[in-house]
Amino acid sequence: MQQIHPTALIDPKAELHSSVQVGPYAVIGPHVRIGAGTTIGAHCVIEGHTSIGAENRIFQFASIGAPPQDKKYAGEPTRLEIGHGNTIREFVTINTGTVQDAGVTRVGDDNWIMAYVHIAHDCELGSHIVMANAATLGGHVHLGDWVFVGGLTGIHQFVRVGAHAMTGFQTRLAQDLPPFVTAAGNPAEAQGINAEGLRRRGYTPERIAIVKQMNRLLYRKGLTLDAARQQIDALRGEVLEADADIALMQQFLTLATRGIVR
């Protein structure tokens, strides 16, 4: 049953599922759609052409769907799309996209976004991501599934972070971070692989060993990137379940236009 606090301001054109809960003094604009079981905390502002899926929990004072912080933005009807089962904590800001990109900012499913995080225009987040307090994404940043972004990390515009990668506290990331790699520092330096995260996701020791071999080829052998990629490709077939990890790494490196953290 829908529970709307009497002080909430909801535009009549907004589309809210009958089970949505809205707290005191929240403001919801005319182009907003919110799915089943989502809760909106007190004083939240949800505006713009924003679609929010089911079973999300958005805490008080979040700003969702505001115009992009981009001087080129001229009021175009760009969008924000948020999936299902996300937790979005206090004072998080997520902006809509720009026409200079695809015109949409996307957040996947089951993400844990802590207080004071900023997700700028045209960012694309996968699923099962953790963003710790006050982490900041510049525009056009892409995060793969299962990424962990440490508190106070700043990620430069257009940077891509591969699946299962991780940044430490106060990391400055200005180049692409390959899958599975842990980076820390200002500027960021590769520190190894996110082995504990992989174990928690059910990776076998044999599969993790292949990921470690890829990391050694990229960072420990003194190889050029092209030479490292050739040797990474030669690992195919050693552990069949790891072939997907090799393919993920190779695809990421193919698309790395900013260079990678090395």
Nearest residue to 165 (alpha-carbon basis) of 184, 185, 144: 144
Contacts of 71 (CB under 8 A, 6+ apart): none
Given the structure tokens 């059910």, which residue do they identify?
Answer: 202
Q: What's at 79, amino acid-wise? A: R
Exposed, middle or buried: residue 222 (CB in 10 Å: 0-12, 13-18, 19+)? Answer: exposed
Amino acid of residue 172? R
Q: Does residue 139 carry a catalytic annotation?
A: yes
Catalytic one of 139, 144, 162, 168: 139
3 state SS of 255:
coil
Question: Please, is 189 exposed, middle or buried when counting C-beta atoms within 10 Å of its C-beta (0-12, 13-18, 19+)?
Answer: middle
- Judge whether 122 counts as a catalytic residue: yes
Q: Which amino acid is at 213?
A: Q
Tell me the sheet residues that pair with 42. none
Q: Single out the catalytic residue among 31, 43, 121, 142.
A: 121
Residue among 145, 159, 143 nearest 198 (CA): 145
Annotated active-site residue in 122, 145, 176, 245:
122
Q: Report the catalytic residues.
A: 121-122, 139
